Amino acid sequence: MAAVLFAFGLQAQQKSDLPNVTLKDLNGKDVNVSSLFANNKRGATQNGPVVLTFWATWCGPCIKEHNALDEVYADWQNETGVKIYAVSIDDSRTTAKVKPFVEGKGWDFEVLLDVNGDLKRAMNVNNPPHTFLFDGKGKMVYQHTGYWDGAEDELYEEILKLK
């Protein structure tokens, strides 16, 4: 009985600020962003924080941001369990280039393709780069637009607050 109650209680709590939008990963597989926190069968609470960054191959500051994030990503993962998803808003003129671009740059984080701009519109991203931070339950706790050197440190401070 406790389990039943717990299940319902949990259901009411499983509120994710991520919209119900399906994107593709670099291997062409569908990924529903609202399920990014439901991967864990033991309940969403066990997931670590998630960073979602909107970018494009033609966006200079975005590439700087990703190069900077890539450098610290392994350390961040070890320390906080954070997962970074880079959402490319490249349209059909550059989608074919995204995978070779990401691999060529050697970035380690997951990349999702928002070819039709569905997630961009749903999350009200006006201009890339635009970075969101979600806690392990899918609640959005921080966002930032633009990138200057050192902005990743600010983001990390926000991630540490979630610990």
Partner 1 sequence: MRKHILLTLALALTFGFKASAQSFLENSQVNGSFQTDAQYYMLDNGIGIDNLYGKQLGLNGFGKVGYSNGNFSAGIRFEAFLPELNGFRQELNGVGLANFYATYDNGFVGVTVGDIYDQFGNGLVFRTYEEWSLGMDNALRGVRTIVRPIQGVTLKGVYGRQRYFWAPYNEREFATDDYRGIVRGVDGEWDLNQSIPAMNESEFKMTLGGSFVSKKQYDQSLFYYIPENVGAAAGRVNMSYGRFAFSTEYAYKINDPSAINNFIYKEGQALMSSLSYSQKGLGVVLQVKRTDNMSFKSQYTALQNDLDINFIPPINYTHTHSLPSMYTYSTQPNGEMAAQFQVNYTIPKGTVLGGKYGTKLSLNMSQVNDIVRDSIMDHGQMVINKKGTLGYASDFFAVSDHRFFRDINFEIDKKISKDWHVTAQYINLYYDIETIEGHAGAPPVQANIGFLDVTYKINKRQSLRFELQGLWEREVKKGYVYDESEKKDYQKRGDWAFGLLEYSITPHWSISIADKWNYGNPVPEFRDHYFTGTVTYIHEATRIMLSGGRQSEGVVCVGGVCRTVPASSGVSLTVSTSF
**Residues interacting with partner 1, by CB under 8 A?**
1, 4-5, 8-9, 11-12, 15, 17, 19-20, 27-30, 57-60, 63-64, 67, 71, 91-94, 96-97, 99-106, 115-117, 121-127, 130, 142-146, 148-151, 153-154
Q: In this complex, which beta carbon is closest to partner 1, that of residue 45 or of residue 60?
A: 60
The CA radius of gyration of the chain, in Å to the nearest whole number, is 16
Q: In this complex, which beta carbon is closest to partner 1, that of residue 75 or of residue 91?
A: 91
Q: CB 41 → partner 1: shortest distance, Å?
A: 20
Q: Are 34 and 19 in contact (CB under 8 A)?
A: yes
Q: How far from chain centre, in Å, is Cα 48?
A: 12
Residue type, 116: N
Closest CA to 23 of 105, 116, 92: 116
Q: CB 144 → partner 1: shortest distance, Å?
A: 6
Q: CB 163 → partner 1: shortest distance, Å?
A: 20
Q: In this complex, which beta carbon is closest to partner 1, that of residue 78 or of residue 92?
A: 92
Closest CA to 131 of 156, 99, 161: 156
Q: In this complex, which beta carbon is closest to partner 1, that of residue 31 or of residue 80?
A: 31
> Tokens standing for 63?
């590439």
Give the Cα separation of 29 and 8 in Å (integer). Answer: 31
